[in-house]
Amino acid sequence: MAIVLGRPPADDVAEVLVDEATLAAKVRELGAKLTADYQGRDVVLVSVLKGALPFLADLMRAMPIHVALDFLEVSSYGSSTETSGVVRILKDLAKPIEGRHVLVVEDILDTGHTLSYVMTHLRGMNPASLRLCALLDKPARRQVQIEVDYRGFVIPDKFVVGYGLDFAERYRNLPFIGVLKPEVYAQDAG
Ligand code: IMP
Ligand code: MG
């Protein structure tokens, strides 16, 4: 059988929305603000797998204070570019957060269904404080009202990939945020 070599992920990108240097500068800025705001307190960074991983990894290294990490995994039924609004917890936190200062670190706020569910779930565990840090925000798509305490970039109503964000589980490893060529979205890899 012949081996078919696929083209590299970057070849499928039509437009770079946020480049690497701009991402890095924003992460440093958010890290400095969080460091000042959480000074003298231990904070639990809670991320939703898997899209927030690159952001979390960079952000925590821009925070020279004590942090602990924990993870949630959720599934929302729907297609690869649309959330249905039905959210389910696949993996819950490993440790209780009662009385802890919790910062949710997320990749993107779209309709708001996922984060609204996650914030309510976490609030029910009685943390001392609960805040939200989202790298990207697409306000035009919002269906559920949600308060964002720390925001990276407001972006237009486009489906984006890279820096953790996927289309059909691909493109998470692109080091920038971009939009794919229309023909890539058309042939949903499943
Ligand atoms: P929401 O529940 O509609 O706010 O969607 C949140 C989740 O949908 C995110 O955590 C992402 O996994 C996914 N998502 C929303 N918009 C995009 C996008 O533009 N690119 C990739 N994933 C997205
Ligand atoms: Mg996704």
Counting Cβ atoms within 10 Å, is residue 49 exposed (0-12), middle (13-18) or buried (19+)? Answer: middle
Judge whether 17 lies within some domain.
yes
Judge whether 35 lies within some domain.
yes
Task: Print the domain residue range for 32.
Answer: 9-189
Judge whether 170 lies within some domain.
yes
Q: How much distance in Å is there from the Cα of 51 to the middle of ligand 2?
A: 6
Judge whether 113 lies within some domain.
yes
Q: What is the CATH number of the domain that holds 81?
A: 3.40.50.2020
The residue nearest atom 15 of ligand 1, judged by CA position, is 110
As a dihedral over the C-alpha atoms of residue 109, residue 90, residue 49, residue 31, rounded to 10 degrees, the angle is: 70
- The pLDDT of residue 75 is 85
Tokens encoding 109: 């706020």
- Series of mean pLDDT values for 10-residue runs along the chain (190 residues): 78 97 98 98 96 98 98 80 78 98 97 94 98 97 95 97 96 97 78
- The pLDDT of residue 86 is 81
- The pLDDT of residue 189 is 53
Q: What is the pTM of this model?
A: 0.92
